Amino acid sequence: MRSSSSRGRTSHTARRRTAHRRTATVALAGVTALIAAAVQAGAATAAPEAPRPGRANPAHTAVKLTPSQRAELIRHADAGRTAAARRLGLGDQEKLVVKDVVKDADGTLHTRYERTYAGLPVLGGDLVVATDSAGKTMEVVRATNATLKVAGLTPAVPEATAERQAVGRAKALGGTKPAADSVRKVIWAATGKPVLAYETVVGGLQEDGTPNELHVITDAATGQKLYEYQGVKNGVGNTQYSGQVTLTTTQSGSTYNLTDGARGGHKTYNLNRGTSGTGTLFSQSSDTWGNGTSSNAATAGADAHYGAALTWDFYKSTFGRTGIKNNGVGAYSRVHYGNAYVNAFWTDSCFCMTYGDGSGNTKPLTSIDVAGHEMSHGVTSATANLNYSGESGGLNEATSDIMAAGVEFYANNTTDVGDYLVGEKIDINGNGTPLRYMDKPSKDGASKDNWYSGIGGVDVHYSSGPANHFFYLLSEGSGAKVVNGVSYNSPTADGLPVTGIGRDKALQIWYRALSTKWTSTTNYAGARTGTLAAAGELYGTTSAEYKAVQDAWAGVGVGARSGGGGGGGGTSYESSTPVSIPDNGPAVTSDITVSGRTGNAPNNLQVSVDIAHTWRGDLVIDLVGPSGTAYRLKDYSSSDSGDGVNETYTVNAAAESANGTWKLRVQDQATYDTGTINGWKLTFP
């Protein structure tokens, strides 16, 4: 039961709070050592001059590893995982499992681990450890800061109870399978205090014919459902036409087949309206595939094969990544799934991409951006593995939209030009409009333009809106413009302009955050922290690129603007040094030193706060002026279960001298949740 340090709480209140606890995500614990070193501790001043655009720092650019080089790094990390666990202070029952390694040109290694506890997988226990060339730990990014300890390993609830709950939930979502595919014991650590739990997976088909891999997490002590997510990542894409393209195929005797030996052996199969298995590998006597229309089954095969090749080439050329898992192995594609199935999906369990034929079986969803979108779900799974629910689910979907745009621009196909639209060629709505818009997501009628506290409860395809919007702003900037013949007009949450840095740099920042900064539980506040860390490493913390990341996130309601961005000629002073907030502990402070001003502070001083914290109602936040006087910004609330505080407060500070040390004081006044002051800013109008 939760208890407040300031006063007792009735058991009724505690039960109500537990019952209404939503599946909160945990933000990043901190940013890189580079950023921590680059911002002077305890002081921040307005930038003396405008940031300048920079070139990517080659030292902090990931090395393009061959599959064998990557495998060797993983083997080396695996050999040292026991020592790594000891250095990290993990408990005797905890073990690390190496998932991936990214190497920078300066020798820095970013090793991504999963964790086990007493032999059980820990869901939400993943972490990324950055070590320098000498093996010294520089940074640890954790999916949870909670100590891994559970009361016992013997469930009080039978496995059959968890299975019934999961099967019932699947039926409520349109599933028809009477039993679960699997049930296993796990430690659930992604949302608050770690507990012994069951993970139940229910297969079969969803209501629209999409395969089902519903994961339901059940508390093994109480039987309460803790979390659920869909393992099959699906989305929608374009029609079949990319014009006449070149395909890499394989000749066997007198026949050709759709096997791409240049890209990990990627194969494309014809399901011929089936819904299981691989179907038949496309093979024929001619190396000319399809006729450009849905009347020929090989047309969809050609488009899918082409999209897979483009996606492989995009990741390799842009990020040095060889294949979805970066191991040189190709996935495979299946076309003609089901009957008039208007969707496409990626499945981790088969490492495969599947396309339906669309309305009337005449519009296969096999275009460039759908291939890039769905296969990027595989890349996300192999890197940050963002949970497919809540805010992390929105970031998962947005990553696929963002990378799909990257693939489409990379293709430079005159028939299907690069754009910031999703599904612009499939007319699901019957009015010729795209399914999603990155410049103004709300134009689709459901997506959200900006972050707000309840966005974690929105379907992941629509909670992706703020991240898509951020990427567009970072790439192209706000306002009206035309790109590749397509008109856009992107607003901002605060009404202030954003200057873009170009799509190429925006992609590099997003990918570096995905591959080295984010974990399975990263939410929007954590995404901001990770992209700032990435921008700082690549371009420097005083660069125009770093400033643009701050401003683009502020443009979608996440965090504060960069210094001097307060509008109306205001001057801003900012601290970006992370400060950990202990659970139900003493208050912590972050300082900003203001100098060079005259007179007192204004009666409308703006205080912009960026705090990552689960169950933000635990927090009490004050601004402390140079005189020591405290100005309350946020009170404690036992009922506010939202994640993070990203707000701008107005304070009448006219009694304070403008110059001096200002403090943001934050205290967690209840147990079970922790967080981080990511940064904060003072703006003098």
Residues with a known catalytic role: 374, 461
Phi, psi of 298 (to 5 degrees): -75, -15
Nearest to 520 by CA among 392, 638, 398: 392
Q: Residue for token digits 């028939």?
A: 415
Phi, psi of 179 (to 5 degrees): -140, 160
Rg (CA), the chain: 25
- Token pair listed for 251: 């000749």
In Å, what is the CA distance from 324 to each residue of 312, 380, 568?
A: 8, 9, 47
Beta bridge partners of 104: 62
- Nearest CA to 102 among 143, 134, 61? 61
Residue 627's Cβ-count burial label (10 Å; 0-12, 13-18, 19+) is exposed
Of all helices (H) and strands (E), which one includes residue 60?
A: none
State the Cα–Cα distance between residues 12 and 25, nearest whole angstrom.
25
Cα 77 to chain centroid, rounded: 25
Instruction: Please name the residues in contact with 542: beta carbons below 8 A apart, sequence gap of 6 or more.
Output: 38, 47, 51
- What count of other Cβ atoms lies within 10 Å of the Cβ of residue 173? 13
Do 378 and 346 form a contact (C-beta atoms < 8 A)?
yes
Identity at 557, one-letter amino acid code: G
E strands, 275-412, where?
Answer: 280-281, 283-284, 332-337, 344-347, 352-356
Q: Which residue has the tokens 């050609």?
A: 302
Exposure class string for 432-471: b at 16+ Cβ within 10 A, else e: eebbbbbbbbebbeebbbbbeeebbebebbbbbbbbbbbb
Q: 550 has which bridge partners? A: none
The β-bridge partners of 605 are 651
Answer whether 675's CB lies under 8 Å from 521's CB: no
Cα–Cα dist 460/439, whole Å: 18
DSSP class per residue in 380-419: HHHTT---SSHHHHHHHHHHHHHHHHHHHHHHT-SSS---
For residues 345 and 316, the answer to whether their CB atoms sit within 8 Å is: no
- Tell how many helices (H) and how many strands (E) occur in the chain: 13, 31
Phi, psi (degrees; rounded to nearest 5) at 607:
-120, 105
Cβ within 8 Å of residue 684, ≥6 positions away: 566, 570, 571, 572, 573, 597, 601, 602, 605, 606, 658
| 477 Cβ contact partners less than 8 Å away, ≥ 6 residues apart | 490, 497, 498, 499, 500
Q: Tokens 């998932």 — which residue?
A: 99
469 and 493 in contact (C-beta within 8 Å)? no
Quote the CA–CA distance of 461 and 481 in Å, as a whole number: 25
| Sequence-distant (≥ 6) Cβ neighbours of residue 533 within 8 angstroms | 31, 32, 34, 35, 513, 517
